[in-house]
Amino acid sequence: NAGVTQTPKFRILKIGQSMTLQCTQDMNHNYMYWYRQDPGMGLKLIYYSVGAGITDKGEVPNGYNVSRSTTEDFPLRLELAAPSQTSVYFCASSYAREGPGSYEQYFGPGTRLTVT
């Protein structure tokens, strides 16, 4: 299994441009997440999904959009990029637990995005 894969690894955007960060997992996990991590800081949840066709906002959703048409894929769309979106973006996935609580999250290698 490849686990969680993300593309691209690095990207430089100009202010106002748009792009899609790709995330794919091959573990048949139904939960998927997008986080951003600013330099020297912790992880902030952008969006998450509990299954195909279902998405919900996290702590910092402004400026981003997501879709989940399949179990495997969870792309993150940046519209009108701003310097404040310069960050490392991590995608993660996990199994759903029967009942409350969740299983461990598996993270992709990250996408380092710079907006200038």
Does the protein bind another protein through residue 90 (CB under 8 A)? yes
Does the protein bind another protein through residue 5 (CB under 8 A)? no
Q: Identify whether the C-beta of residue 90 lies closer than 8 Å to the C-beta of residue 41.
A: no
Alpha carbon distance 76, 74 (integer Å): 7
- Shortest distance, position 101 Cβ to another protein, whole Å: 5
Tokens 């997008």 found at: 34
Task: Lay out the site mask for another protein across 32-71 (x = CB under 8 A, - = otherwise).
Answer: -x-x-----xxxxx--x-x-------xx------------
Nearer residue to another protein within complex by CB, 85 or 110? 110
Alpha carbon distance 41, 31 (integer Å): 24
Alpha carbon distance 61, 63 (integer Å): 6
- Shortest distance, position 88 Cβ to another protein, whole Å: 9
- Shortest distance, position 69 Cβ to another protein, whole Å: 19
Alpha carbon distance 92, 39 (integer Å): 19
